Structure 1
Amino acid sequence: MTSGKEDYLKAIYLISENHDVVTNKELSEMLHVSPPSVSEMITKLQKQGYVDYTAYKGSKMTRKGRREAGKLLRYHALWEVFLVNDLHFSWSEAHEIAEGLEHQTNDVLSERLDDFLGHPDYCPHGDPIPRKDGVRVGITNETLADLEVGDSTHIRRIVEDYSLMDYLQSKNISIDMEVTVKNKEPYEGPILLETEKGDISLSYKAAQQIYVDENK
Structure 2
Amino acid sequence: MANKELSENIEEYLEVLYKYGNKETYVSTTTISKRLEIAPGSVTQMLKKLEELGYINYIPYKGANLSDKGFKVAQKITRKHRILEKFLTDVLNVKPENVHIQACDMEHSLSDEAERAMCHILEHPDICPDEKPIPPCDFDFNSCEDCVNEEKDIEEIGVRKSNLISIADLYLNEKAEVSFIRGDSYILKKLMSLGIAIGTPVKLNNASEDKSSLNISVNGSDVEISGNIANNVFVSVL
TM-score by length of 1: 0.60
Q: C-alpha displacement at 1:37, in angstroms?
A: 0.9
d(CA) in 2 for partners of 1:87, 1:42: 37
1:130 matched residue in structure 2: 135
Q: C-alpha displacement at 1:122, in angstroms?
A: 0.7
Matches within 5 A, 1:65-214: 65-133=70-138, 135=164, 137=166, 138=168, 214=212
d(CA) in 1 for partners of 2:211, 2:60: 38
Q: C-alpha displacement at 1:55, in angstroms?
A: 2.1
Q: Secondary structure at the match of 1:104?
A: coil
> Relative to 1, partners in 2 of residues 1:119 and 1:214: Cα closer, same or farther, differing over 3 Å?
closer
What is the identity, as a one-letter code, of the residue corresponding to 2:97? Answer: S
> Relative to 1, partners in 2 of residues 1:60 and 1:213: Cα closer, same or farther, differing over 3 Å?
closer
What is the identity, as a one-letter code, of the residue corresponding to 2:60? Answer: A
d(CA) in 1 for partners of 2:23, 2:112: 27
Runs of 4+ aligned residues of structure 1 deviating over 3 Å after TM superposition are 133-139, 212-215
**1:7 and 2:16 equivalent?**
no
Per-residue Cα deviation, 1:79-100 (whole angstroms, up to 9, x for no partner): 1111111111133211111101
What is the identity, as a one-letter code, of the residue corresponding to 1:108? Answer: E
Contact preservation (8 Å) 2:22, 2:66: no
> Relative to 1, partners in 2 of residues 1:73 and 1:135: Cα closer, same or farther, differing over 3 Å?
farther
d(CA) in 2 for partners of 1:14, 1:68: 13
d(CA) in 2 for partners of 1:84, 1:25: 32
Contact preservation (8 Å) 1:128, 1:136: no
Ranges in structure 1 where 5+ consecutive residues have no aligned partner: 140-211
What is the identity, as a one-letter code, of the residue corresponding to 2:112? Answer: D
d(CA) in 1 for partners of 2:61, 2:39: 17
Contact preservation (8 Å) 1:84, 1:90: yes
d(CA) in 2 for partners of 1:77, 1:107: 14
Per-residue Cα deviation, 1:120-156 (whole angstroms, up to 9, x for no partner): 11111211001124655457xxxxxxxxxxxxxxxxx
1:57 matched residue in structure 2: 62
> Relative to 1, partners in 2 of residues 1:136 and 1:89: Cα closer, same or farther, differing over 3 Å?
farther
2:42 matched residue in structure 1: 37
Q: Secondary structure at the match of 2:130?
A: coil
What is the identity, as a one-letter code, of the residue corresponding to 1:95? Answer: H
Per-residue Cα deviation, 1:58-103 (whole angstroms, up to 9, x for no partner): 2121011111011011101111111111111133211111101101
TM-score by length of 2: 0.55
RMSD: 2.2
Q: Secondary structure at the match of 1:59?
A: strand
